[in-house]
Amino acid sequence: MNLRDILLNSGDVSWNQNSFPLQPTDRRTMSSRGNRHTLTIRHVQQEDFGNYSCVADNSLGRSKKYMEVSGRPGPADFLSPPWSRSTDSFNLTWKVESYPPLQEVRLLYRKLMMNETFQQPGRWNDIILTPAPRPPSEPLTHVMAFTLRGLQHSSVYEAIVQAKNRYGWNEVSDIFQFYTQRLASDIHSEEMQVASSTSRSGSTSLHRNTPKATVWRAITLTLLPILPWVMSPFGALLHGGTLFDRSKLII
């Protein structure tokens, strides 16, 4: 395990564990290369857990950085896609990184009450799970899955996961939101409403457009007999059937 930090270009650098100065041992070494300073701990044991700090001093001042080394599991990461293929169930999958085997996992989920103006979370449902033994090929990563049943269709849910090993509980995971499918009858009803609305819209559009075409044709036909009188001063437009041909273009 390496603890690294980029500090000041020059000066005195020291390492501390739980505010106590650290000295090199057969398992613990300190090294520097340019402005990068590294603390390496081999064969990590429980006594190595704690809060570490790296302190650098020079003529310009002091800089200090902190890092926690813990044997507890890392936060869980959800792997499931958010959309369920089912109307009343959802398969949750997540992974947790932990060197020691996991002893216990808590899965909490709840439904979100939502409408157009607000969302109100429901009560958390708490499920305790016992992890299966981890395969030898994956000494660090634990992958777990659980299927939630009895969910409501067309709904939004939230889930969080927390894991425990012999060193304690990890931090609670980020909230994961997922969604159940709608009922087929709801989808069919919605499609029928859209089709009905489209039909009414088309009918209304036709009803409104018809009078305009009728009026335009009536006006055109009404003006045609008097067009020679109106246009006669322009002479050149009144030869042969030119006026009649133009009237057909207007219609």
Co-location of 104 and 142 in the same domain: yes
Task: Specify the pTM.
Answer: 0.61
Give Cα 209 distance to the centre of its chain: 46
Q: Which of 45, 69, 93 is the last residue of a domain?
A: 69
Angle at 21 between CA 18 and CA 24, to 5 degrees: 115
Contact (Cβ atoms closer than 8 angstroms) between residue 15 and residue 69:
no
Give the dihedral sign, CA 75/76/78/79.
positive
| More confident position, 193 or 144 | 144
How confident is the model over 3-33, as pLDDT tens digits?
554 444 456 899 999 999 999 999 999 998 8
Beta bridge partners of 141: 97
Total domain count for the chain?
A: 3
Do 142 and 92 lie in one domain? The reply is yes
Same domain, residue pair 51 and 120: no
Among 7, 187, 135, 219, which Cα is nearest to 15's? 7
Domain match, 119 and 167 both: yes
Of 167, 182, 197, which closes a domain? 182
- Backbone angle region of 240, left / alpha / beta, with phi > 0 → left and psi within -120 to 50 → alpha: left
Domain containing 149: what range?
77-182
Residues 169, 92, single domain; the answer is: yes
- pLDDT tens-digit series, residues 158-211: 999 999 999 999 999 999 999 999 987 665 455 555 555 555 555 555 444 444
Q: Where residue 54 sits, what CATH number does that domain have?
A: 2.60.40.10
Contact 156, 175 (CB under 8 A): no
